[in-house]
Amino acid sequence: MAATTATRRAIERRANPAWSGFVATIDNQLKSFYREPQALAFTLGQPFILLLILNAFDFHVRGADGREHPYIDVLLPGMIAFTGMTVGLNSVAFVLSRYKERGILRRVRATPLPTASFLGGVIVSRLVIAFLVTVITYLAGVYVFGADMTGNAAGLIALGTLGSVAFIAIGVLMVAFARSEDDLPPMFILVLMPSLLFSGAFLDRSGLPDWLYWLTNGLPLTFLTHAVQGVANAGAGWSAIKGDILGMGVWGAAATALAAWRFRMA
Partner 1 sequence: MTSSAAAGAAASPTSDGPPALAVHDLRKHYRKHEAVRGITFAVQSGEIFGLLGPNGAGKTTTIEIVIGLREATAGTVEVFGADVARDQRLARGLLGIQLQESDFFDHLTLAEQLRYLGACYGTEPDAAALLAAVDLADRGDWRLKQLSGGQKQRFALAAALVNDPRLVLLDEPSTGLDPGARRDLWQLIRRLRDSGHTVLLTTHYMEEAEVLCDRVAIMDQGLIAAVDTPDRLIDTLLATGFRRPEPPRAATLEDVFLSLTGHQFSEADAAAGVVPAGRRGRR
Which residue ranges make up the site for partner 1 (CB under 8 A)?
Answer: 1-4, 7-8, 11-12, 14-17, 20-21, 23-25, 27-28, 31-32, 35-36, 102-104, 106-113, 266
How many angstroms separate the CA atoms of 103 and 107, rounded?
A: 6
Cβ of residue 90: shortest distance to partner 1, in angstroms? 17
Cβ of residue 40: shortest distance to partner 1, in angstroms? 11
Residue 260: closest CA among 113, 120, 112:
120
3-state helix, strand, coil in the chain (%, to 5): 80, 0, 20
Cβ of residue 47: shortest distance to partner 1, in angstroms? 23
Residue closer to partner 1 (CB basis): 22 or 48: 22
Contact 227, 237 (CB under 8 A): no
E strand map for 38-183: 60-62, 68-70
Cβ of residue 168: shortest distance to partner 1, in angstroms? 20
Residue closer to partner 1 (CB basis): 19 or 57: 19
- β-strand partners of 62: 68
Backbone angles phi, psi at 15, to 5 degrees: -60, 150
Residue closer to partner 1 (CB basis): 33 or 251: 33
Residue 262: closest CA among 161, 115, 147, 141:
115
Cβ of residue 111: shortest distance to partner 1, in angstroms? 4
Residue closer to partner 1 (CB basis): 113 or 236: 113
Contact 254, 167 (CB under 8 A): no
- Amino acid letter, residue 137: T
How many angstroms separate the CA atoms of 186 and 154, rounded?
A: 35
Residue closer to partner 1 (CB basis): 15 or 154: 15
Cβ of residue 135: shortest distance to partner 1, in angstroms? 23
Residue closer to partner 1 (CB basis): 67 or 107: 107
Contact 229, 78 (CB under 8 A): yes
